[in-house]
């Protein structure tokens, strides 16, 4: 039904406005009340859109995110496409041009690894560090070759999105394929561990507690930042590891062996006791000292605290994951049974221990 204003029409229980954008006649519904005031509001809204179109500032998806035209006309289409959607479309496309075995392999990688880890994110949300954190996590039980193969579909999706100008940059272009040397551990010596812990300034006590606990429990980064006070059994001197925070999502361990109880040494307990005095014993144990909030990932830990501390001490740069290797190599050098070390690390058997840490077994 025609209204009092040009380009504003009543459609059922809503108002429809019409305008021209990039040579296309567009019609969109507005949920303003079907009253004279609602009609005035719809006309004013249309006027705002016409002005933005004239000034070259109009973003279709910002005003009409649910519209079929939103993605086609968006100034930033990468924020409206999830990685899950892009990977699913990728699988549909390769069905027409890839061998069945390749389709099967790609489908497994996408549904087993990529979608569960990155699928909830928009294309323009993923950054290179998200992929590096994932690599550090899975290198424990996947070979470098497997990790490289898993990333093939993701690389193709992001290369295509960049070429189609759906994203401004391709984060995967900054992620080289892993070499097999990545798996070689470079643990810290006892003197280096002490120097690193003592190197954190007084305003970074929480960071020291975090890394002291990491050095003496061998927990993965994702397990450390997900650890809560409820996971600590003070009587048994154990930490229950049953979850991990990966790219913003709490996940269960990949294997049954990953769900474990880790014995707490005196050094680990001291770190907890110091942390206990800083926060109430509820929720996450380790928190960002800058705002008191739980860590979302280890980016700030690495960039603001870890690497500057190593540089100041003149210690060779190694990523924080080496705290885990330090834990395992120290136990083995002290004569601990390989099966016990495997259980503490969350491995199902000793094969990883022998393959990775064999030279430390006494």
In this prediction, residue 325 carries a pLDDT of 94
Global pTM value: 0.59
Task: Give the residue range(s) of CATH 1.10.443.10 domains in the chain.
Answer: 190-360
> pLDDT tens for residues 10-37?
988 899 989 998 888 989 999 899 899 9
Q: Provide φ and ψ at 232, rounded to 5°.
A: -100, 125
Give the CATH fold of the 80-183 domain.
DNA polymerase; domain 1 (1.10.150)
Burial class (CB in 10 A: 0-12, 13-18, 19+), 126: buried
**Confidence (pLDDT) at 181:** 53
pLDDT at 182: 44
State pLDDT tens for residues 58-115. 888 777 877 777 666 666 666 778 899 899 989 999 988 888 878 889 999 999 999 9
**128-146 pLDDT per residue, tens:** 989 998 998 888 778 888 9
Q: Which of 60-64, 118-122, 155-159 shows the lowest mean pLDDT across its residues?
A: 60-64
Query: Boundaries of CATH 1.10.150.130 in the chain?
Result: 80-183
The CATH architecture to which 190-360 belongs is: Orthogonal Bundle (1.10)
């Amino acid at each position: 039904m025609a209204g009092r204003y040009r380009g504003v029409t009543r459609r059922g229980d809503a108002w429809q406005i019409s305008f021209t954008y990039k040579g296309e006649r567009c019609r969109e519904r507005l949920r303003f009340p079907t009253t004279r005031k609602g009609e005035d509001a719809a006309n004013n809204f249309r006027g705002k859109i016409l002005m933005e179109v004239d000034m070259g500032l109009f973003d279709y998806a910002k005003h009409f995110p649910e519209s079929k035209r939103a993605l086609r006309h968006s100034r930033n289409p990468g924020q409206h496409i999830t990685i899950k959607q892009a990977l699913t479309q990728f699988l549909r496309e390769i069905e027409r041009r890839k061998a069945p075995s390749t389709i099967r392999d790609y489908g497994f990688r996408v549904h087993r690894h990529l979608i569960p880890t990155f699928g909830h994110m928009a294309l323009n949300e993923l950054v290179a560090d998200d992929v590096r954190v994932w690599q550090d996590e899975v290198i424990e039980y996947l070979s470098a070759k497997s990790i490289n193969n898993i990333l093939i579909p993701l690389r193709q999706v992001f290369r295509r999105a960049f070429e189609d100008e759906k994203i401004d940059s391709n984060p995967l272009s900054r992620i080289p394929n892993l070499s097999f040397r990545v798996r070689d551990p470079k643990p810290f010596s006892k003197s280096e561990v002490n120097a690193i812990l003592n190197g954190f300034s007084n305003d970074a006590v929480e960071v020291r507690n975090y890394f002291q606990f990491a050095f003496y429990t061998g927990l993965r980064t994702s397990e450390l930042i997900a650890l809560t006070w409820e996971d600590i059994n003070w009587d048994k001197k154990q930490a229950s590891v049953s979850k991990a925070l990966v790219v913003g999502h709490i996940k269960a361990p990949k294997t049954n062996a990953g769900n474990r109880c880790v014995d707490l040494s005196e050094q680990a307990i001291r770190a907890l006791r110091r942390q206990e005095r800083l926060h109430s014993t509820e929720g996450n144990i380790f928190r960002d000292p800058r705002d008191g909030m739980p860590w979302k990932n280890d980016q700030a830990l690495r960039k603001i605290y870890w690497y500057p501390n190593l540089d100041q001490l003149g210690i060779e740069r190694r990523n924080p994951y080496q705290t885990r290797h330090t834990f395992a190599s120290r136990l083995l050098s002290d004569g601990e049974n390989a099966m016990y070390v495997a259980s503490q690390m969350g491995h199902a058997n000793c094969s990883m221990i022998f393959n990775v840490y064999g030279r430390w077994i006494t």
